[in-house]
Amino acid sequence: MIDFAYSPIVQSGGTYDLKPQAESNNDVLKYDTIILSVGISYASYNSNIIRTLFIDPAPEQKENYNKINDIMNFITSELKPEKSI
């Protein structure tokens, strides 16, 4: 009953396609940023898991990641049942 919704997608080397119909590129994995995407299908339900791996990130990447993570944590903390914004 569990199956892949699509073939796993692995992209690296600075060339990334983030569209839903993206495919793995044939580039050799490089020591930079790697994007992994897997879709699973179970009983007519689909779920996607996408991860970005930073290998030895540049200071700017670390700073941007931390800012985005702070924003996500703030938004998540504000999402409470029956709370108006």
Residue pLDDT, tens place only, 23-65: 887 778 888 888 999 989 998 898 988 898 999 999 999 999 9
The ranges assigned to domains in the chain are 2-78
The DSSP secondary structure of the chain, one letter per residue, reads -EEEEEEEEEEETT----STT-----SPP-SSEEEEEEEEEETTEEEEEEEEEESS--HHHHHHHHHHHHHHHHHHHH--TT---
- State residue 33's pLDDT score: 87
- State residue 85's pLDDT score: 63
pLDDT of residue 78 exceeding 90, the answer is: no
Over residues 2-26, the mean pLDDT reads: 84
- Is the pTM for the entire model greater than 0.85? no
